[in-house]
Structure 1
C-alpha cells in the first residue's frame, strides 16, 4: 500500500466526533473536555492508571451529560479562551497566563452547568 493511505495504531485508540447537528465549535468541546469538571467526572467514573493517569474510554465518557444546547455566548467565551491557550503554548512559556486562561475556562464551564459554589468547591478540592 502507498504511504499515507492507512493509519495503523499499535495500541487501543478512542476518538470523539461531533454529531452533524452540533452547533458548538470544536474549541468549545476542547475546553469542556479538558475542564476540571470533566477530569473530576473521569476521576470518579474511570480507571486510574499509573501516575494518576486516566483512560478516556467510551463507556466512561458517554454518560457525561453534554448541554442540550450551547448559547453562542458560551461557545464564543470558551472557544476564545482555548484559542488563546493554544497561542500561548506555541510561544515562550507563560505559565501564569495559561493558568489564568484555564481558570477562566473552568469558570465558564461551571456557569454552563449552573453549578453552585458548594459543587465547585467539591470539584476544586478533588482535582
Structure 2
C-alpha cells in the first residue's frame, strides 16, 4: 500500500457552531469548508494544517455513527485517515492480509474523496480510514 500522508484526523464534536470558534480563535486555523454528508448522517468542517486536515464531525442523527460514538465515548478523536493512491486497491490489500474492513470497496465521502474504513478491532483500537481522489 502506498500511503503518502495523513489525509486528516476526524474529531467528533457535539456542535460545529461551538467547536469551530475554538479552532479559529484559539488555534488560529481557518475553516475552509462545511459540508453535510447525508448518507453518513454527519456534517463536517475542515481546517488545513500543513498537508494534513482536521475534520470536525457533527452528527445529524443520534442513531448515526457519530451520534453513537459521542453517546458512548464523548467528544474526541474519532478516526485517523491516510491518503492512498487507490482506495479500492488498498482495501483489497489489507483484507488479503487478514485485516477486517468495514467497507469492502470504497464509497463517496466528504470533499468528494473515495473512502473506506478498517475495523478498529483489527487496527489496534484506532478506526482507520483510507482515502483517495
The TM-score bracket by the shorter chain reads under 0.3
Q: Which has the higher contact order (CA 8 A, sep 6+)?
A: 1
Larger radius of gyration: 1
Kindly indicate which of the two structures has a greater share of residues assigned to helix.
1
TM-score normalised by the chain length of structure 1: 0.22
